[in-house]
Every structure is written in structure tokens, then in C-alpha cells.
Structure 1
Amino acid sequence: MHKTNSPLVGAPEPPVPKRSSAAGITLRPKQALVGGTSAIALAAEWHPLRVTTDKFADQAVGYGMLPPTIRNVKLLLDANRIAARYNVIKKRTEIAIPDLKGVIDNGDSVSIAHVKSLMAMHGMPNGDARAILDAIANQEAYNPVADWIDGKPWDGVDRLPDFYATIATVADYPAELKQAIMYCWLLSAVAAALMVSGFSTRLVLTLQGAQSIGKTRWCLSLVPDPMLRASVVKTDHHFEGGNKDHIITAMRHWLVELGELESSFRKDQERLKGILTRDRDVVRPPYAGVDSEWPRRTVFMASANGSDFLSDPSGSTRWGVIAVQSINYEHGIDMQQLYAQLAVDFRAGKPWWFDKEQEAKLEAWNERHQTTSIVRDAIAGTIDMVGDNTLKMRRMTATEVLNEAGIDHPTQVQARECGAILRGKFGPPKKSSGIFRWELPLRKPADDKDLDVPPIGPAVPTKSKFD
């Protein structure tokens, strides 16, 4: 009889103690989780077990080889205590092989190679090993963030005041607006983690303040556990146009900080807005033969150093800008309990989006962070943007507004910008005499001296009574 160093299934094994990682993943001593959230160097070699042919559910036909069916490969994995699970945050299959010596750098490909070797040892074709492992892992999906949040029930202590206190704003920033932004954004993060599908949000927490004030470190402090944080938090991320890899990287994290927001706005503002507000992403991951549709489980925050970085003429209420004076990123808050507290609010139906009144307050503050624009300044000198009902109302097109403001021959770009500003402030125009116009409050002529807005174009000399 042929001898082998691989023991057969059925031999007694001593009990193996278990422990859990911070991400909620059960690990045995000397076991690595490769291709996923964590891994440890291993002290012993992996010794695969042989499974006798009669144990397989799907037998070979005639004198052929054992078919590599899902049931057969699953039996091999179970017999060798190999765990294959799908991480819904990382959007990837994770394979844990007991007593596998190695490092995590190339852990994903190494784990696939070991499974292929195990299949070959049993005479199975292994060309489709990756797809079969994905199918097996799909039956064992897990969410490390949800597992962490629900790991311990809320103890009833309100930690929101301490959370709000981690960010000190400039003197004139409204305290209630800061709390509304921080609460709704953190609640949206909990919703993203706990909802199976259908999640979306348009609010991006945006910290505006001096460089090196601690904005990125504050983002990292939201997940204190270093192993879990390395897996689910991405800082200083950038979207370069429609780069697929940049989108996939972001979607494989729970919290994503967009760095250098000013640069992102200059390059591709409209595309960025579309990416941030989706409820699902259709992408083709590496090695995949077809597209995947991923429910959105990512929330975004952003950081900006300068004060004038918002440039969307149609409105900026998706950017929850907080003007920061100082940040405490060493707050020591029990973040698991804070998320557990918000999980109670989420399950009670609390909304993570702004109402109309909150949006109006945010829009009013964000006006301070708008980039300088000739068109915007001209409109502000002509149209009352506050909404004084005592002013004269007049139906006007975007071009007529610019003419009234002194821009006699506006370009198409200027007209579009003007239309976007009017649409964002006064809503869509209404058709009048076959032309779409807004009903707008014109400033009183006497207001011009108060505004101190210089005229656009050459000055016209006034006539004297002697002319």
C-alpha cells in the first residue's frame, strides 16, 4: 500500500482552544487569516488531511477524476478546518488555513495555491478553484463592522456630548449646526454598516481648518482597534476621474476620508458628486469575469485646508462643512458603545439626513466657503439672495439677470453658472411667453451704495444741465 504523510480524515484530534480577533473573526492559535482583515505569523507547518474517496458526495463518473463540485471542495475545506468567508465590507473572500506558515503580503494568492494543491492531492481539476471558493464563502458572509457594533449592547450612557466636544469650532460657528452634522453623519455610518441593502447618503462630513490640525488622525480615532481600523478605514483617498481602481478601493472600506478636497473639485466635481451619493456600485473586481453590484456600505468625510473651496453653483448642502479651530483626536471615547448607542437610534427610525430648515442653515454657512466668482458677485449685487418680500419682483432669464448686473455680453459658461445659482437658490424656472424665467426680487436702487459693488464695464459720464 502506498504510504503518505497526510493523515486520513477520522483520526482523533486534541481539542484546539479558540480566540477571537478584534474584528470578530474566530482564530485558533497559529492560524492566519489571509486575504482579509488580519493575519499572524505561524509557528508550525500546515499538514493537509486526505479524505477517502467514498466520503465525497459527488463521485467520479467511470474512471474519471473526482469532480471539483462545490460540495466536494467544501468537504475538503471542512476536513482540513479551512474557513472560507465573504467579508461584505472588504468585498472579498477570506480564507483561514490553520497552521499555515507565512506572511500576509501575498496571503491571498498563497491561500488559493494551498487549496489548489489540496484539490490536486485528491485528483480534482483545480482551474476553477477561485470561483468555487467564492461560491462557498458567499454562503458564510459576515460584516466585521456590524459584528463590532453589535458586539456589546449599549450601556445607556450618552456619549454624544463627549463626541461633539472632540471638535472645537471657530467662534461664530453655530453650535447646533455642528452637532447636527456630526450626529447625522455618524448615524449614517451606523446605517451603512447595519443595512443589508438600500443605504445611501448625501452628507459628507467636511472638516475645514489649518493643515496638521489633526483632521486625519481624528478620522482614524473613530475606530480605535488597530486591526479593524487598518481594514475598514481609508484616509487621504483621491478619485481620479472615472478610475475604476479608485472606486473599488473606496468601496472596500467603511469610512473614507477624501484628502485635498480643493484639488478634487478642480478636476472633476460633477463625477465626484455622482460617486458619493450612489446606493450601489457596479464594478468588475480583479479576476472577475462579470460585473458585480455592490450595495453601498461606505460613508465619506473630507478635509480642506483653505476656506474657499466650494465651487458648485447649484448648491453645496451635501458638504457638511465644520470650520475647525482645534481637534481632540486622543479623546478616549468608547467608540463601540457610541456606535451601539446610535444603533439604537437607527433601529428606532431616526433619520440621517437633514430637513429643509437644517439644509438652509448649512447652505447659509457654506456661502462663506464658496470660491470667488464674478458671476456670483454680480448676482449678489442685483438679486436679493436673502428673500426680502418687500422688494420688487421681476421675471427674468439668466442672461437678463447678468445684463441687469452689468455683464452685457455674457458667455455661455457664465449663463450656465448664473442659471445653476438661481436654480439652487430659487428652484426651477417657470415658462413665461415660451421662455423659462425665474421670479426674482430685485434689489432697490438705494441698496447699491450699501453693497459698494463697483459697476462692470466702462463708466458712462453723466450729462449736465448745460449739455
Structure 2
Amino acid sequence: MSVSTSTSSSLQADSIKEWVEGSGVEGAIASLNIHTIENSFEIASLLNWKYYSGSGGWYVKSIDLATGQYSSFGQFKPDIPLSFPNQEKAQKYISFPKGDGVEIILLLPDMDTWEKIADKYQVPITPEDIKEDRLDKGFWLWVADNPQLPLEVTEGAKKAGCLLAHNYIPLCVTGVWNGKQKKKLKAIPTLAPFLTNGRPIHLVFDSDITVKHQVQEALKHTGYLAAKEGCIVGVATWEYTEATKGVDDLIVNKGISAFETVMDNLTQFKEWLKRTEKQFKQQQPGLTRLDSRQLMNYIRTKYRDRLKLNKLQQKIELDGKEILLEEAYLLLADLDGIDCTKTKASDIFGKIAMENSYSPVVTYLDTVADKITPVSLENLATRYFGTDNPIYDIFLKRTLIAAVARAYSPGCKHDTTLVLQGKQGAGKSSFFSVLGGDWFDDSMGNANNKDDLIILHKSWIQEWGEIERTFSKRQSEELKAFITRRKDIFRPPYGRSALEFARQSIIVGTANGSDFLLDSTGNRRYWIIPVAKEKIEISRLTEERDRIWSAAVKAYRNGEQWWLTDSEEKLSQQNNQQFQIIDEWQSSIANYLSGREVVSITEILQRVMEFEVGKIDRRSQMRVANILTNLEWKKAGQKQHQGKRQVVWRPATPLLNEEGIETLKGTASLKDSLRIAHKVLKAEATSEQGLSIPTTPSIPENKNLLGDTQQQEKITQNKKSESEKLEGVAGVLKQDSFRNLSNYTSEKTLTLPLKHEINWQNYPYNSRDEYTLKNRANKVSERVLSCSTSNELEKLLFSREANKLELNWLVENYFSEAQKQQLQTIKATTQTNLFGKLQPEEVETIEIDFKEIKADMDVIMQSLGWSIEQGKQHLIDTYGKRSRLHLTDQELLEFWDYLKNLGKKSDGRVDS
């Protein structure tokens, strides 16, 4: 009987011949149970594998005891045994489907065999026992209902078929250990119904149990489970030879009478245990003891290629199967005759496993990239979600590349979350589940404990389902810090102490409602795609999954970015406005702000919301601050405002006068003026290759002193020279300082000769495409010249965004003289001068004493009662760093400001 249409008649005939001639199975039994299959896609589906590239073969499926129909569980035998990297021997038989646990296999008998079994054991078959709607006609229910019927437990479908053909009732396990549950001393669910009080259970395993201690151990477990339920357990043993290894070999080569003699002389289970224990002790001359170095060398030599650490799922594997480190000493004693302590064995096994660590995700991505034709990533959101906005295609493409980046470069920067928004039942979670496959998970809670972190680090794609619930349970600042974090500290399952782990995963989300964004300051971290389709085509996604990841790997290898450009970031912010929860205070405050240049929070609470001074609390202040941020205002520090010094807010986009120059208030400090002057004088140098590269750190577009196109046209029409522009600002700034700055922007910086003859094939990057190499060089140049200090440059060169080989090549072949000079300035700038990069030697230096700041931090933390550990934890939660030494200048100043505000709050003083 064959259920496959993709198999040849010759394969079916050969398989039946293998069963009939090789294992003594009658033709009727063989034809009922054997199915043949050759198509690799069908085999992969049967096994629940992603691919299959081996030969065709036969398979059997078990009968479900409850329904009498085929279950999904079975055993497959390829014509050519399969070889796996982590296994010494090729595998002849494969249990399926992968990932669903194991079952026993119940074969189909024909009616003639059933009647012979009933006659043999004198158990009648009544009309009620025969059920025509079942494939087995009710045979296995009849067996389960009659505990006086003896059962033969054997390993392998062919041996079970041989026993059934000779009128025995076989329960087939697919491995000697497969009668018990994993890590539990309990029978598997499909075996348990047959283990009833008084039932004869005969263990009919291969005759090599007399020489294989591992098989004996497995037999002990199965026998114990049966005896515990009151079964009468016997063990079949016979002389071991190659010709009589299995029960089918014995029957075919020695005849059925030889097996009947074995069954007449079964050894009772307890007696067999005593005999086996005595035999084992006689074979063991004593366990060997080795010192630590000898033991490590021995284990490394024997297990080096077989013992691995699965980095993603944080488990130790031996020959591809998980092992518990606390049982490693038992494995050494059992298999190698070596005696050592539990701790020593655990430590050495763990160390060697870590030397051979691997990521199953990386293995998968390498495979699809090398073997699968990629699909276009440019319109995936349009195709799957029915969207019509190009930014949504960009969101999805960049997220896919980010997932690849996190797999290949754990801990790389990815501080955003893709959120699918749409009605319930559209398939949003299924979309992520199919993409993530075995490495998708949605069970992480609010990430408040160690277990949540372990779950995150065991997955590749982690979903926050119904993300609005997460927003409601955690503060936006906490969520922002958690999403931004690149590393986490926790104790892994195989470890005895907490370790630091770089994230290999991305976090995604789904939302049913349309209003769920609370805090505009953190909203840039969410890329939201509204699902327009009624139902996402999950079947289509399943077919394209490997092609999608193949394309994402190629995009990553070609250096494509997984973050948004400045213009795309603006589109994302505009998109997020439709999902923003609007505060009811916002319209009143917006009306008040119209035409104003400076406001304070206290002013708004008193004049707009009509608060009394004594009733202004921190919560109201934060609410107004959030609204001001939503309306694109920013905190401008403490200024003199309305007769007193207080924290004020200004529009994020500066007000411009007729010439397009920002209006400078007399209250601005020299430091503020220098920043503004620097922006006015900011120029772009043309590289020797004609590519435009910033000579200074890039400034967000909304902070540029030059306004829109009309403002720039006014400036052009006025035809003011550069010196005249400087004089326009000099009325506010000190003349000497400003003149020094004007010297900094010389014509030599702006005009450079072109060099056309560059051998791009020498550029140290993994591509031979000239356009890709030029694009990479441009990006690396921007990143390098955007650094403010030598510390930032050093960190950049140790990331995947740039390296020292590339920088050396750029300096030698690509940089202009002005850019080389700027690079020297960066290298000479440390954390002792905040504006060290903004001016050459002529400019008056404005220094900040960071030692003094750190000392002040220590005093504040001591007054707040903070311990060193509390300080470290705050740095980890907020910046993902364990020490102040690793903070950038901006982060250090931000942390200092945060501590000062906490100190003021504890003193009863709150800035408005």
C-alpha cells in the first residue's frame, strides 16, 4: 500500500522485498504498512525538516489508538543512510516529525493475522470488537482492552513487522531510550495505556544487550516503568552473533522455532537485573583517575568535534543532542571508565563545548544564502500587507537585515522595533512566527526578571504580542532603555555565575488598536506598519521564507544598512503620529505657544492649566514636558525668564531673521554662541573623488541655521560675502573669538583637486563590485569624520561599521588634505575638551573638567544613598554600559544632569 504518488514502482517492490526476504515479514503485512517516497520536498514535509537532499526510501506511520487512523508519527528509512556533521556513524532510520516528541509505532495487521493471534492466546473477537471505520478494524483497542494478552516491546518497524507476521503483538519503539519521557522517569503517553496491572510485557531487544552497557541501561528504564505499573516483565536473550543480532535476523536465519525457544526461556526482569549488574562489575577492573590536565586533554581529544555549545539556545550538545553538565561525570564513568568529581567534569565539558560554539541561525542563514535563489526585498510590505506607502517596504527590509546582522554580529546596534498593526486574526503573529521558524518566540513577559532575559536570548525573533499592553505596564523610559540595550547579564542554565551576553535577537511587536504610542520621545524606536489586508498570505510566506532570508543575507553582506536615513526617520515620525495617544491638554498648550519663543513648564501650568503654585507636582510637570516634546519644543537649560532664573523651553526649529540667521538672545552664553557660530560656518569639503563628505559631525536637519529653500534664495540674492555673514553674527559674539573661527573656514578647505585613478579592487571590503566599494568607502568616511573624540573613533574601528584596514586605505588613497587634518584633530581629542573637534589651534579652547564632574557625581550618589552596584545597574539599564569610563561625553553629561535633578528633588527643590 503506497500513499505517495511521487514514487516509482521499483522502489515499492524493493522495499517490500527488503521486509519479506530480509526480515521475514509476510507480504500482506508488508504491503499494508510500507509507504514509499522519493520527492525531496515531500520527504522534507514528512520529516518536518526545512530541506532534504538525500535519497528516497520507505516509511511507516503509527496507528492512533484513539481514532484508528494514521498519526503523524513514524519511521523513515532512506535507501542511502544519512551522514550528519555531529555524528560519527551514518543514520539508517529517522523518526518523524521533528520536534513533536516520540511515540510507539502500532502497525496494521490483516484480519487473518488478528484471528490467528486471538486463537493463539484464546481471547475471542466479538462483533463489537470489529470497527469498520478504523484502519486497524479495532485491533489495537481489542489489545488494550484485554490485559491478559502479552506484548513484545522491540526496537524498529521491520522487527515489529516480523513479530506481527508470526502472530506476536509488537509495540515498536524507535530507539532503545524512546519508551521513557525525556528527562523524566515516566512512560511516553502512547506506551502508558498498555502498561496495565498483570499485563505480560516482554523486552525483545537486539542480542547485543549482553555487550552494550548503554542498551542495558535503556532496558532497565523501560522494564522499571512496566514493573512499576504491575506488569509481569520478562527479558528475551539469546547468543549474540552478526547473523542473529536482531529478532528478525534470528527468525530468518535460525527459523521461528529458535525464537519460540527464546520466548519459552524468558528471564524475569529482577533476575536479569542481578545478572547484568554482576556481569558489569566483573568487566570493570576499576575506574581510572586522571589529574585535571590529563582529563582535559583526554576529553578534548575524544569529544572535541562532538561536544558543542548552541549559543542561541544556551545548551550543551553531544552528537547534536542536549546533555546536562551535572551528569557529565556519570557519562565519563559509563563510557570511558574515568572517575572524577561532578564539578571537574562539568567545568571541563563546559569549557570544551564553548570552544566549539555555534549558532543554528548562522548555519541556516549561510545555507540559504549559498543554495537558495533570493527574492526581492523591495516590496515585501506591499505584497504581504497590502500597503501603498514605500516607507513600509523600507521598514520591513531594514528589519530583516537587522535580524541577519544580530545573528552574524551579536550585540550590534539595533534599537528599533517593527510593529504590525491591524485587526485581530489578520495573521500578524503568524507572519513573524513563519519568518523566525524554530527560533521564534512570543513568551517573554515585560523583561523584568532573569527568566525573561533567558527567553529573549534563546530566540532570534522575539514578539511582544499586543504591544499596547506592554506599554501600559512599563514606563516608556524603561522600554526605551530595554530596546536600546545590546547586552544583558544573567546566569545561563549551564553556568554557576552571571555572565554578559550580547543580543542575537530582534524584538518585534503586534498591535490590534490604532492608538498605543504614549511618549513621543521614544517613539522613533517603533517602525509601525498598518496591515491593510484582511488576511496575510501565510502559505505564500512559508514558501518564500528561505528566499527572503537569502536576500537579507546578501543585502547584509553587500553592506546595506539596517537603520533609517535622516529623511526616512522624518517619514517614520510622521507615520507614528497616527498611532499617538494625544493628551487632552495638548490643544490648549499649542494655542498658548503660538508666537512665543521661550516658555517654562511652571508658566504653562499656571497660565494655561490654571494650577496653583502649591499644587504643581512632578507628574504634571512631566506631562507638560511630554506635550512640549510632541510639539517639537526642546529644553534650553536655565535662563532668566519672567524675572527669575529657571529651566526654559524653546522651539526645536530655530527662529530665523530675514537673512536666515538664527536670532541670538543676549542671554546666550559664549558656549552657546560658539555652537551657533560653528553651525553657521559648517562647510562640506569635496573629497578627492568628488564625493561630498561632512568635515564636522553631522547636525540634524531641523537644527540647521539655514532655513527652507526660500530663506536660502534670499541669502543668495543678497550676495553677501562670507565675511559679511560673519559680521552679521559678530554683533552678538566676541570679535576676537569670532575672527578666529572665520580663519578656520578657508578656501583651501572647500576646493580640492580631483583624483580619478583609484584601484577600487584594493579596498579592504568583501565585494568586487565597484559601486558597492565606493558606497562603502563613502559611508565609512562619514562615520569616521563624524566622531568627536579618539574614544569614539576607537570604538567605531572595533565595530562592524568600520575597521582600521579601511581607515588606513582611505587615508592613503581617498581622503583630502582637509579630511586628513580633521582626522588628526579627532585622534588628538579626548574626553577633556567637549569642543576639541570644533576648532583648530587658533580657536580659544572651552574646557570641561570631567574629573571634577565625576567627583561631583560621587558626592551626589553618596547623598542619595546609592551603592556602586546601583550606579552600575542604572548605567546598564540606560546606556547598556557597566562603567562611566565607557560613556561618551554626551552620555556622561546627561548622567550628571540626571543625578543633579535627583539630588534637587530629594532636597525638596524641583526645577520648572
**What TM-score comes out, normalization by structure 1 length?**
0.71
Matches within 5 A, 1:65-144: 65-68=289-292, 69-77=295-303, 83-96=306-319, 108=324, 112=328, 115-118=331-334, 121-144=337-360
Aligned partner of 1:57 in structure 2 is none
1:179 equivalenced with 2:393 (yes/no)? yes
**1:379 Cα deviation from its structure 2 partner:** 3.2
Match among 481, 503, 522 for residue 296 of structure 1: 503
What is the distance in 1 between the residues matched to 2:94 and 2:480?
A: 39
| Structure 2 residue matching 1:437: 3-state secondary structure | strand
Going from structure 1 to structure 2, the CA distance change for 1:404 and 1:148 (only over 3 Å counts) comes to same
Match among 542, 558, 562 for residue 348 of structure 1: 558
CA distances 1:10-39 after superposition (whole Å, capped 9, x unpaired): xxxxxx95434xxx8668427999xx9998
**1:329 Cα deviation from its structure 2 partner:** 1.8
CA distances 1:55-100 after superposition (whole Å, capped 9, x unpaired): xxxxxxxx9822353222234536xxx82111121122222279xx
What is the distance in 2 between the residues matched to 1:288 and 1:369?
A: 43
| Structure 1 residue matching 2:488: 3-state secondary structure | strand
What is the distance in 1 between the residues matched to 2:422 and 2:320?
A: 46
Match among 406, 426, 433 for residue 192 of structure 1: 406
Aligned partner of 1:396 in structure 2 is 599
Going from structure 1 to structure 2, the CA distance change for 1:382 and 1:212 (only over 3 Å counts) comes to farther
Aligned partner of 2:414 in structure 1 is 201
**1:159 Cα deviation from its structure 2 partner:** 2.5
Aligned partner of 1:235 in structure 2 is 442
CA distances 1:345-372 after superposition (whole Å, capped 9, x unpaired): 2222221111222222222221222224
Q: Structure 1 unaligned runs (5+)?
A: 1-15, 50-62, 99-103, 224-228, 384-390, 443-467
**1:154 Cα deviation from its structure 2 partner:** 6.8
Letter aligned with residue 181 of structure 1:
F
Going from structure 1 to structure 2, the CA distance change for 1:406 and 1:162 (only over 3 Å counts) comes to closer
Aligned partner of 1:411 in structure 2 is 617
**1:392 Cα deviation from its structure 2 partner:** 2.3
Going from structure 1 to structure 2, the CA distance change for 1:356 and 1:405 (only over 3 Å counts) comes to farther
User: Which structure has the highest helix share of the two?
Assistant: 2
Aligned partner of 1:247 in structure 2 is 453
Aligned partner of 2:91 in structure 1 is 29
**1:151 Cα deviation from its structure 2 partner:** 0.9
Going from structure 1 to structure 2, the CA distance change for 1:366 and 1:29 (only over 3 Å counts) comes to same
Letter aligned with residue 401 of structure 1:
I
| Structure 1 residue matching 2:532: 3-state secondary structure | strand
Aligned partner of 2:675 in structure 1 is none
Going from structure 1 to structure 2, the CA distance change for 1:166 and 1:247 (only over 3 Å counts) comes to farther
Matches within 5 A, 1:161-180: 161=378, 163-169=380-386, 175-180=389-394
Letter aligned with residue 212 of structure 1:
G
What is the distance in 2 between the residues matched to 1:335 and 1:379?
A: 49
Q: Contact 2:288–2:337 (CA<8 Å) still a contact in 1?
A: no
Give the aligned length: 381
Aligned partner of 1:263 in structure 2 is 469
Q: Contact 1:67–1:125 (CA<8 Å) still a contact in 2?
A: no
Aligned partner of 2:175 in structure 1 is 43
Using CA pairs under 8 Å that are at least 6 residues apart, name the structure with larger relative contact order, 1 or 2.
1
Q: Contact 1:166–1:328 (CA<8 Å) still a contact in 2?
A: no
Moved more, 250-259 or 158-167: 158-167
| Structure 2 residue matching 1:131: 3-state secondary structure | helix
Going from structure 1 to structure 2, the CA distance change for 1:381 and 1:70 (only over 3 Å counts) comes to farther
1:19 equivalenced with 2:86 (yes/no)? no
CA distances 1:129-172 after superposition (whole Å, capped 9, x unpaired): 22221111111111111111111427665432563244325xxx
Q: Contact 1:32–1:96 (CA<8 Å) still a contact in 2?
A: no
1:286 equivalenced with 2:493 (yes/no)? yes
**1:377 Cα deviation from its structure 2 partner:** 4.2
Going from structure 1 to structure 2, the CA distance change for 1:126 and 1:411 (only over 3 Å counts) comes to closer
CA distances 1:306-340 after superposition (whole Å, capped 9, x unpaired): 11111124240111111112222222443233222
Aligned partner of 1:387 in structure 2 is none
Matches within 5 A, 1:57-68: 65-68=289-292
What is the distance in 1 between the residues matched to 2:597 and 2:371?
A: 56
Aligned partner of 2:665 in structure 1 is none
Q: Contact 1:237–1:259 (CA<8 Å) still a contact in 2?
A: no
Match among 426, 448, 471 for residue 213 of structure 1: 426
Aligned partner of 2:377 in structure 1 is 160
Going from structure 1 to structure 2, the CA distance change for 1:263 and 1:287 (only over 3 Å counts) comes to same
**1:127 Cα deviation from its structure 2 partner:** 3.4
Letter aligned with residue 88 of structure 1:
K
Q: Contact 1:206–1:302 (CA<8 Å) still a contact in 2?
A: yes
What is the distance in 2 between the residues matched to 1:122 and 1:187?
A: 48
What is the distance in 2 between the residues matched to 1:43 and 1:441?
A: 69
Letter aligned with residue 185 of structure 1:
T
Going from structure 1 to structure 2, the CA distance change for 1:156 and 1:122 (only over 3 Å counts) comes to closer
Q: Structure 2 unaligned runs (5+)?
A: 1-79, 103-172, 178-211, 216-286, 654-912
What is the distance in 2 between the residues matched to 1:413 and 1:222?
A: 42
Aligned partner of 2:251 in structure 1 is none
Match among 412, 435, 442 for residue 646 of structure 2: 435
Larger radius of gyration: 2
**1:109 Cα deviation from its structure 2 partner:** 7.1
**What TM-score comes out, normalization by structure 2 length?**
0.38
**1:404 Cα deviation from its structure 2 partner:** 4.5
Percent identity reads 21
Give RMSD over aligned pairs.
3.6
Letter aligned with residue 178 of structure 1:
Y
What is the distance in 2 between the residues matched to 1:32 and 1:396?
A: 73
CA distances 1:106-140 after superposition (whole Å, capped 9, x unpaired): x6479747525437832333333222211111111
Letter aligned with residue 650 of structure 2:
E
Letter aligned with residue 389 of structure 2:
A
Match among 571, 575, 580 for residue 370 of structure 1: 580
Going from structure 1 to structure 2, the CA distance change for 1:335 and 1:18 (only over 3 Å counts) comes to same
What is the distance in 2 between the residues matched to 1:136 and 1:289?
A: 16
Aligned partner of 2:158 in structure 1 is none
**1:177 Cα deviation from its structure 2 partner:** 1.7
User: Which structure has the highest strand share of the two?
Assistant: 1
Moved more, 300-309 or 109-118: 109-118
Going from structure 1 to structure 2, the CA distance change for 1:253 and 1:109 (only over 3 Å counts) comes to same
What is the distance in 1 between the residues matched to 2:483 and 2:509?
A: 11
**1:342 Cα deviation from its structure 2 partner:** 2.0
Matches within 5 A, 1:140-151: 140-151=356-367
Q: Contact 1:166–1:329 (CA<8 Å) still a contact in 2?
A: no
